[in-house]
């Protein structure tokens, strides 16, 4: 799964993604009347932006070094920088609330509205508690990044090595050990997470929200109850298709491992789906391939055979964006990014895009491996980078995605255009096979990534929202997690789990405090975006056959939307790109129509559901 480090960007690296970022200690309310601001709203917005940019140079550098050099020293630096960021944010929100309901121009009103949404980790209005929150966030992310599991044979493995076992092995017990092993990393910070929830909720209340769940749901230009209903509606659109895919995958896994290990009427054991978190299933495509040997899709083998390295992989991803007429990456991108895992130190390998120095220093952090999955991840991360580049000249407060799902969807929209025709043009497959069987194979591989992900993308924040509201208490963190995983995904733990475990914390976004609904929304919208860009490109044919590679008309439409940033409510940006003002999953059903029909035929006579 391609990720984006929003904790760092939102909290520590200037007024970029949610417009509620850190600034300097000079932004205190000293010399201001407690109930009436002495500045106009427009003057306040301008001052906050300038102060935020100044502090961001320090906080962004501290966060980057912490992620690329995990040591006790960098933990101290990052925590202190984070503390200053939290202090600034608290003061900013307190001041911004004074302007609520005042007369102001529309641009200023939008800026104030964005500021009042807060960040993913709002700090309490107390210096000691701010320091504690900054330390907890830094420590949890650092423990995750440095995590490793030492097996009975004395061999210690970090996450990438354990992931490889799950991705490549079909040894039930070896996969089980890797799965259990990684989940030994998270229990040590379970209590810290509980304390984070307490502090985050207090910060949200100081910002004027009931709890952190309400604050998180407030960032979508709609009432929080309406947003909750909208997310549910989108899931209901795709749920029947997911259930067909789940039914077929479970049946095939039962054939591989035996009905005793994968019963036909129960959830699937979580360690058999080729991914540490069972979030995407494309690593088990070889077990699921509908028509063996039809239209080889082994891009990884081609990358290895042709001598691709981390740099060439990244340049290939850049080449897709520039083919659309978007600008080349600045020289500093390649100079300052980390695209290869260092051998001499611990780093947070979790892929992320960074917008440092007010758009003048965009970079990515990714431990690139020479695989098809990592090539897709690079396109995802460059989607963020091109968003940064296109809205670079906006005022800082408007630098961000129309909503956070937009930011996540851009690179993945491009990946949908990596069709067999595109891959052949790049020399990554030999031939484009046009047949019904080839289509089903291609769609199966993509569905194992995209459709399998949807319920996972939905349930992570369902769990956190329940944690933040108290519906799931600290004594049932793990039980509540697995209840939702079974409900949404039809997945179960392969061995008994207890409250001594902290399985949610084995997923980066929990200790990294990155909201996750954005990914669910992005997996919906990327197909909606793809359909609109194919129409802009003048493509006529089946949606799954379309590639916008080298099409300047599609690139212009995409670039114009990116340049809007978050200066307007997201329905305006959606309309600019698609002509619609709502998010809509119908393009997914259109795209996968051949596979959906095939799955229904395969599942006839099977016992589906769980």
Task: Tell me which of 13, 351, 409, 438 is the catalytic residue.
Answer: 351
SS3 readout for 342-377:
CCCCCCCCCCEEEEECCCCEEEEECCCCCCHHHHHH
Residue 604 burial (CB count, 10 A): 6
Which residue is catalytic, options 6, 248, 380, 544? 380
Annotated catalytic, 246? no
Element (H, E) at 492: strand 491-492
> Residues 519, 537, 544, 585: which is the catalytic one?
519
Cα 118-124-125 angle, rounded to 5 deg: 100
CA distance 346 to 358: 28
For the chain, report the end-to-end CA distance as a whole number of angstroms: 25
Query: Which H or E run includes 455?
Result: helix 436-469
C-beta atoms surrounding 399 within 10 Å: 26
Is 530 catalytic? The answer is no
Strand partners, 269: 492
User: How many whole angstroms separate alpha carbon 240 and alpha carbon 265?
Assistant: 17
What does 63-98 look like in DSSP terms, one character per residue? HHHHHHS-SHHHHHHHHHHHHHHHHHHHHHHHHHGG
Alpha helices in 97-171, H assignment, sequence order: 106-115, 127-145, 159-168
Is 350 one of the annotated active-site residues of the chain? yes
Q: CB–CB of 182/162 below 8 Å?
A: yes
Query: Helix crossing, 41-68 with 106-115: angle to 10°?
Result: 40
User: Residues 6 or more apart from 179 whose CB is under 8 A from it?
Assistant: 166, 270, 271, 276, 494
CA angle 138, 144, 146 (to 5 degrees): 100
Q: Which of 91, 80, 79, 22 is nearest to 54 (CA)?
A: 22
What are the beta bridge partners of residue 268? 491
Contact 414, 376 (CB under 8 A): no
- Catalytic residue selected from 51, 163, 318, 408: 408
> Catalytic pick from 246, 271, 350, 530?
350
**Residue 236 CA, distance from chain mean position:** 21
Count helices and strands (H / E) in the chain.
24, 6
150: β partners: 156
Beta bridge partners of 156: 150
Where in 154-236 does DSSP place strands (E)?
156-158
* Residue among 87, 135, 318, 381 flagged as catalytic: 381
Q: Is 403 a catalytic residue?
A: no
381 noted as active-site residue: yes
Give the integer Cα–Cα distance in Å for 242 and 198. Answer: 35
Sequence-separated (6 or more) residues with CB below 8 Å from residue 393:
none
Task: State how far the Cα of 142 lies from the Cα of 12, in Å rounded to an integer.
Answer: 16
**Active-site residue among 248, 271, 384, 403?**
384
Please, are residues 429 and 297 in contact by the beta-carbon 8 Å criterion? yes
**Candidate list 509, 536, 537, 573, residue with the active-site label:** 509
Give kind and range of the element (H or E) at residue 269.
strand 268-269
Task: Report the run of H or E that residue 53 belongs to, with start and end.
Answer: helix 41-68
Q: Is 310 part of the annotated catalytic residue set? A: no
The DSSP symbol for 148 reads E
Write out the catalytic residue numbers.
350-351, 380-381, 384, 408, 509, 519
């Amino acid at each position: 799964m391609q990720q984006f480090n929003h904790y760092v960007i939102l909290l520590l690296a200037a007024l970029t993604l949610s417009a509620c970022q850190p600034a300097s200690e000079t932004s205190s309310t000293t010399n201001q009347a407690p109930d009436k601001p002495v500045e106009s709203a427009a003057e306040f917005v301008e001052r906050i932006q300038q102060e935020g940019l100044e502090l961001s140079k320090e906080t962004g550098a501290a966060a980057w070094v912490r992620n690329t050099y995990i040591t006790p020293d960098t933990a101290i630096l990052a925590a202190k920088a984070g503390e200053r960021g939290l202090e600034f944010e608290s003061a900013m929100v307190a001041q911004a609330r004074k302007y609520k309901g005042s007369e102001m121009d529309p641009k200023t009103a939008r800026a104030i509205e964005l500021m009042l949404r807060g960040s993913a980790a709002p700090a309490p209005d107390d210096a000691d508690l701010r320091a504690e929150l900054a330390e907890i966030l830094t420590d949890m992310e650092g423990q995750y990044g440095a995590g490793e599991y030492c097996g009975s044979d004395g061999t210690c493995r970090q996450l990438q090595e354990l992931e490889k076992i799950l991705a490549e092995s079909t040894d039930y017990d070896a996969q089980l050990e890797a799965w259990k092993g990684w989940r030994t990393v998270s229990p040590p910070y379970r209590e810290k997470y509980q304390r984070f929830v307490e502090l985050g909720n207090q910060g949200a209340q100081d910002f004027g929200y009931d709890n952190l769940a309400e604050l998180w749901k407030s960032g979508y230009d709609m009432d929080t109850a309406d947003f909750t209903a909208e997310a549910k509606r989108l899931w209901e659109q795709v749920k029947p298709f997911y259930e067909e895919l789940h039914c077929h995958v479970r049946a095939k896994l039962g054939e591989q491992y035996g009905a005793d290990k994968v019963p036909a009427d129960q959830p699937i054991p979580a360690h058999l789906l080729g991914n540490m978190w069972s979030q995407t299933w494309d690593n088990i495509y070889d077990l699921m391939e509908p028509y063996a040997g039809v239209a080889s899709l082994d891009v990884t083998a081609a990358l290895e055979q042709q001598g691709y390295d981390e740099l060439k992989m990244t340049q290939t991803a850049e080449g897709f964006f520039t083919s659309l007429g978007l600008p080349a990456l600045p020289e500093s991108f390649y100079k300052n990014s980390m695209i290869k895992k260092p051998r001499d130190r611990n780093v947070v390998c979790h892929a992320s895009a960074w917008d440092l120095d007010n758009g003048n220093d965009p970079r990515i952090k990714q431990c690139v491996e020479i695989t098809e999955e990592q090539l897709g991840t690079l396109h995802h991360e460059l989607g963020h980078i091109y968003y940064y580049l296109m809205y670079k000249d906006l005022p800082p407060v408007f630098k961000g995605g129309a909503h956070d799902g937009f930011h996540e969807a851009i690179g993945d929209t491009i990946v949908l255009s990596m069709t067999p025709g595109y891959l052949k043009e790049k020399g990554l497959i030999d031939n484009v096979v046009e047949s019904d069987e080839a289509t089903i194979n291609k769609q199966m591989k993509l569905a194992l990534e995209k459709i399998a992900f949807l319920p996972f993308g939905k349930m992570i924040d369902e769990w956190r929202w329940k944690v933040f509201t108290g519906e799931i208490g600290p004594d049932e963190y793990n039980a509540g997690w697995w209840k939702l995983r079974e409900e949404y995904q039809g997945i179960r733990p392969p061995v008994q789990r207890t409250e001594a475990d902290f399985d949610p914390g084995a997923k980066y976004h929990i200790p990294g405090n990155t909201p996750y609904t954005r990914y669910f929304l992005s997996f919906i919208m990327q197909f909606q975006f793809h359909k609109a860009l194919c129409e802009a490109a003048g493509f006529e044919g089946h949606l799954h056959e379309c590639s916008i590679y080298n099409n300047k008309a599609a690139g212009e439409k995409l670039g114009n939307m990116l340049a809007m940033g978050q200066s307007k409510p997201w329905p305006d940006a959606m309309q600019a790109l698609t002509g619609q003002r709502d998010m809509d999953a119908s393009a997914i059903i259109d795209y996968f129509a051949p596979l959906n029909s095939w799955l229904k035929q395969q599942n006839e006579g099977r016992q589906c559901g769980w």
